[in-house]
Amino acid sequence: MNFGGIRALDSLDLDIHPGEIVALIGPNGAGKTTFFNCLTGIYTPSAGEIRLRNPETGKETRLNGMKPNKITEKGMARTFQNIRLFANMSVLENVMIGRHCRTHSLILGAIFRNPATRKEEREIVDSSYQILKKVNLHKQVNEQAKNLPYGAQRRLEIARALATEPFLLLLDEPAAGMNPQETEALVKLIRLICREGHSILLIEHDMKLVMSLSDRIFVMDYGKKIAQGSPEEVRSNPAVIKAYLGEDVDA
Amino acid sequence: MFPVKELKRSLFVSIWFAFLTFPIMVIKVDSIERIVTWRWNNMIFIAIGSFVLSILVKVYFVRKERRAASKKAQTVLTEPFVHRILREPRFLYPLCLACLAFALLFPHLFSTYQTNIMTTALMYVVLGLGLNIVVGVAGLLDLGYVAFYAVGAYSYALLNMHFGLGFWVVLPIGGLLAAFVGILLGFPVLRLRGDYLAIVTLGFGEIIRLVLENWNDFSQGPSGISNISRPGFFGMDLSFAASINYIYYLVVGLVIFTIFVVNRLQNSRLGRAWLALREDEIACQAMGIDKTKTKLMAFSLGAFWAGLVGVIFATKTTFVNPASFTFLESAIILSIVVLGGMGSIVGVILGALALILLPEYLRALSEYRMLAFGAILVIMMIFKPEGLISNVRRRYRFKQQPSSESE
């Protein structure tokens, strides 16, 4: 992936198995978010392959160059580093938007409000409410999204992504700006989501969270993968230490 | 209570204003008699007037600040008064019935002239509601909305002239043609947002008008098309007065139909997608909404209403020419949406009635009426930038148990 003359993403191969929590870490500017944007179709990668296999049907699709909404339909949903909620819509409506790609009614359904549409609408409201319950926001359903505290906004983003029924959830710095209690709740939430059968790929700078949560960790720097493995392996990897702390200079 | 500093400032404002308006308000040169009249009393009026106005504005802001300060303590969901009434069925239904009764009796209570004005105002209600889909709900600033209006009007005029098609046949055709043109416009501007979109749509509106003005073989150019037939009423010929009443009722019906459809659209899956598109395009796509499809649907549905009203316009005036579809029309319809309250149906209705009826009833002020009208708009936008009635999101009620009841 190039931006003008800059190669933001050079070589990175990364695989996620069903039911896994995988973390992608690296110093600022390493290309982690660019990688996410390539995966979710916001950028089209200039080279490389992105493949997604649906664990239920076993069907494999190539995602390169697909529109973001199609990719979400295929079962990959994301959250954003700088929160991108629909600020002036209510909490519930934010999640209901997530249901959009799993529902079908259109103009005529909206105008005539036939039984099928009514049923679908009820299903949207119900399932959205259930998801909000999961992230513990069900008491604020009618609140405007912008009025929520920061931690709750992050949880709402996760809820919105969950509403699209993904089997792979991409979390871009979900714990950024959270206090220790909120982070604690987030860890619990991510574990719960994983137990329910979603695979998770997360970018995160909070090492404590990354080490305690992930099954495997990938480390990248300057658009390249520099290490991968279990938390223990990564922690003791000299290349990782070099990337984060700089090189040892002999005095 | 009121700070002296503000008084001083108001005094300064009034002196400055008197000075500024001195050349036009005080000096009067009579070039024939070759005398200069000095109208000093005008200056006094202006000074006092601007002083009082400036104090009123300041008082308003001071009170607003105080209210905001006291309100912060309790975070109450602020809702416009109108919406609180509208949510209560026991107020809503009688209110709707009253409005309907008034609308139905209107031609019998007032003169033909009044009925005619009201018909125009109601046509703008529909136009406003149509544009509201595009601008208010989907957040796509469209400055060329009048183009679709023109498409509707000309499709009736031309089909009537060449093929003798009647009003009822062309009404849906005009709407669909306009919707089709809406899609045509939609494709090239899909990537654009905000200012850029506004400029392209503005250009588009002008293109349609210029084509109509210059393509003589097609549209008969600036002289327009006349003798368009009035709508038939089961094959009967109506007298002039009766046909005005007939068109009036037709428009009332169209307004009710529009309100019904637009309301349902807004509270649907599609309506939510439009709102989300307005809020954040990238997040919207990432949540699985097809941006292309959703935008095109907003454009074409918005244009559809303009097409319908265009057909009615042609049949009402029995004459169309390009001069009726200038940018000013687009601007008026846009101000209806903005003034009424973006995304709010009730707001847009009130906005349309206010913007179209006020200039008519301000005729008592003769040449000052446009000035007064402009002043009202400016004041409105300063004190209530969100419009007459701001849009509120629908609320849902849940019981503790999973089973839900959407209200």
ipTM for the assembly: 0.87
Q: Is the pLDDT of residue A54 over 90?
A: no
Question: Which of A41, A72, A111 has the CB atom closest to B287's CB atom?
Answer: A72
- Helix residue ranges, H only, chain A: 32-39, 68-74, 91-98, 107-112, 115-134, 150-162, 180-195, 207-213, 231-235, 238-245
Q: What is the mean pLDDT of residues A205-215?
A: 88
Chain B residue with the nearest C-alpha to that of A40:
B286
- Whether B396 and chain A come into contact, CB under 8 Å, resolves to yes
Domain boundaries, chain A: 2-75+166-245, 84-150
Position B404 scores a pLDDT of: 45
Task: Choose among B269, B18, B242: nearest CA to B108.
Answer: B242
pLDDT digits (tens, 9 = 90+) for A113-159: 888 888 888 889 999 999 999 888 888 888 888 888 888 899 999 99
Task: Say whether domain A2-75+166-245 belongs to CATH 3.40.50.300.
Answer: yes
Mean pLDDT of chain A: 86
The residue with tokens 């037709």 is B250
Gap between the Cα atoms of B137 and B168, Å rounded? 30
Residue B399 confidence class, pLDDT cut points 50, 70, 90: low
B269 to A100: CB separation less than 8 angstroms, yes or no: yes
SS3 A25: strand
Residue B183 contacts A where some CB pair is shorter than 8 Å: no
Q: What percentage of chain B carries pLDDT values higher than 90?
A: 30
From the list B283, B297, B395, the residue facing A142 with the nearest CB is B395
Residue B2 — very low, low, confident or very high, per pLDDT cuts 50/70/90? low
Q: Cα(A35)–Cα(A11) distance, rounded to whole angstroms?
A: 10
Distance CA A90, CA A102 (A): 20
Residue B197: C-alpha distances to residues A167, B284, B342 (Å): 37, 19, 18
Nearest CA-CA distance, residue B90 and chain A, Å: 23
**pLDDT of residue A174 exceeding 50:** yes
Alpha helices (runs of H) in B72-88, residue ranges in sequence order: 81-87
Q: Which residue of A has its CA nearest to B287?
A: A98
Quick one: average pLDDT of B106-127? 90
For residue B296, the chain A residues in CB contact (below 8 A) are none
- Residues 129-148 of chain A with CB under 8 A from chain B are 129-130, 138, 141-142, 144, 147
Separation of first and last alpha carbons in chain B: 46
CB contacts, 8 Å: A158 with chain B: none
The verdict on a CB contact (< 8 Å) between B279 and A88 is yes
Whether residue A4 is predicted with pLDDT greater than 90 in this model: the reply is no
Residue B406, pLDDT above cutoff 60: no
Which residues on A lie below 8 Å from B393 (Cβ)? 88-90, 93, 142, 144
Question: Which of B66-80, B173-187, B340-354 ranks highest by mean pLDDT?
Answer: B173-187
Residue A119 in 3-state DSSP?
helix
Quick one: closest CA in A to B288, which residue? A69
CB A73 within 8 A of CB A101: yes
Select from B153, B147, B118, B173 the least CA-distant residue to B352.
B118
Q: Do B283 and A86 touch (CB under 8 A)?
A: yes
Confidence label for B407 from pLDDT (cuts 50, 70 and 90):
very low
CB atoms A97 and B289 under 8 Å: yes
| Number of residues in chain A | 251
Tokens at B229, concatenated: 């037939």
Separation of alpha carbons B273 and B265, rounded Å: 11
CB contact under 8 A, A141 and B394: no
On whether the CB atoms of residues B303 and B178 are closer than 8 A, the answer is yes
Tokens (6 digits) for A26: 């690296």
Q: Which of A105-109, A176-180, B301-305, B359-363 has the highest mean pLDDT?
A: B301-305
Among B285, B393, B396, the residue with its CB nearest the CB of A68 is B285
3-class secondary structure, A5: coil
Query: What local confidence, expressed as pLDDT, does residue B125 receive?
Result: 95
Nearest residue in chain A measured CA to CA from B396: A142
Cα-based distances in Å from B257 to A73, B153, B171, B260? 35, 20, 14, 5
Please, what is the average pLDDT of chain B? Answer: 85
For residue A187, what are its two tokens?
Answer: 């860890």
Band (B23; pLDDT cuts 50, 70, 90): confident
Contact A126 B402 (CB under 8 A): yes
> How many Å separate Cα A194 from the centre of its chain?
12
Task: Kindly state the average pLDDT of the residues B148-157.
Answer: 94
Mean pLDDT over residues B176-202, rounded?
A: 89
* pLDDT > 90? residue B151: yes
Identity of the residue in B75, B279, B289 whose CB atom sits nearest the CB atom of A89: B279
- Torsion angle of alpha carbons B369, B374, B375, B378, nearest 10°? 160
Q: What percent of chain A has pLDDT over 90?
A: 19
Is residue B281's pLDDT more than 70? yes
**pLDDT-derived band at B83, boundaries 50, 70, 90:** low
Question: Are B291 and A69 in contact (CB < 8 Å)?
Answer: yes
pLDDT of B71 reads: 58
pTM score, two decimals? Answer: 0.82
